[in-house]
Amino acid sequence: MSQKQQLEMDISETDRALSELEKVTGESPVYKSVGSILVKADKEGLLTELKEKKELLNTRVTVLGRQEERTRERIKDLQQKLQEKLRAPKSLE
């Protein structure tokens, strides 16, 4: 769940970056962060890169959501089995 939450925050951050980048005019320089420095970059290239990043993040969120659902179902099934065993009368040995 925490991984999914982190990815959703990354998607939100990417959306904000895309929104701001789309507002930039063709004349204004844009930069991207590479490690601890900023490097001048092409606006269209950055747009493409951010859109691909967002698509990948959305895919990962979907996969994690499915894994989370399967895990919840498995836990529910195990809880039911455990409750049944606890309710079952104990045989005398």
How confident is the model at residue 89, as a pLDDT? Answer: 73
Under the banding of pLDDT at 50, 70 and 90, the label for residue 93 is low
| pLDDT greater at residue 92 or residue 86 | 86
Q: Containing domain of residue 10, as a range?
A: 2-87
pTM given for the model: 0.76
For residue 31, give the 3-state DSSP assignment.
Answer: strand
Averaged pLDDT, 42-63: 95
Q: Which CATH number is 31's domain given?
A: 1.10.287.370
Sign of the CA dihedral running 28, 29, 32, 33 = negative
> Does any domain span residue 93?
no
How many domains, the chain? 1
- Residues 54, 55, 57, 61, CA torsion sign: positive
